[in-house]
Amino acid sequence: MAEILDLDAEVLSDYHREVIAWVTAACVAAGRPRRVIDVGAGTGTGTLALARQLPEAEVIALDVDGDMLESIQRKARAAGVDGRVRTVQADLDKPWPEDIHQAGLVWAANSLHHMGDPGGAVARIYAVLRPGGLVAVTEMESFPRFLTDRAGEALEERVHAAMARAREEAGMHMHEDWPARLAEAGFAIEAERRFDVVLGPPLPPAAVRYAQLSLHRARHNMEDRLSADDLAALDAIAAGIPDRDDLTIRTGRTVWLARRS
């Protein structure tokens, strides 16, 4: 999973840069934040980008996965921003550490749908922001799609349907009404933007690897939910990915900006 997250950052770098620039510009317009919190930081795409974009801010990466946080620390040292990046291991469905407070910006990219209690998560974000602070929530509609031939598209549709059922059964909140949740917590919604990402062939090697790993992971996670024929087809497709010249990357993500009163 860590490699997929890093590849996502590399392959979708134009999208990530545009979102970071937009969000930080909104922050700076109301006064440069002195503290930024990355909620569910993963491998640190947001953490490091925010540290570079906001050179006066301390950036705190919150995540439950200690290995991910160690990866962020290594990357921060390599980027020369380790003096301003702090990692904190925490179960985000439980009360957050008491020293996590008075943030000017909270960044939550594709992380809130993992929370057991979305309303509670948004309320905790409200509590750690200073008055006038901004939260940026990003969520994806679904995981990326890569195949363009008719049989491949049909197979990918079945895989995505199985993944959606699994997420629903696991209590994930991929299609939560985030504007409503933010408003319930007391936030004022300032903006909403949808980003449609489409990368066409020929894809660079990193994008091909991204597609291959994503399909491998889907096959492994859905092993007990797909037919034997679909599993065999996924195996064959994943094995042949490096030799294909028709791959695309198609995904949609929405970002909401909201401010604490």
Q: Residue 127: which domain range? A: 2-260
State the pLDDT at residue 224.
93
DSSP letters, 209-240, are HHHHHHHHHHHHHTTTTS-HHHHHHHHHHHHH
Mean pLDDT of the chain: 94
State the pLDDT at residue 205.
96
Q: What is the CATH number of the domain that holds 242?
A: 3.40.50.150
State the pLDDT at residue 85.
98
State the pLDDT at residue 141.
81
The pLDDT tens digits for 203-247 are 999 999 999 999 999 999 999 999 999 999 999 999 999 999 999
State the pLDDT at residue 28.
85
State the pLDDT at residue 143.
86
The pLDDT tens digits for 117-150 are 989 999 999 999 999 999 999 998 878 999 999 9
Q: Which residue has the higher pLDDT, 62 or 98?
A: 62
| Total domain count, the chain | 1
State the pLDDT at residue 116.
87
pTM score of the predicted model: 0.93
DSSP-based three-state secondary structure for 38: strand
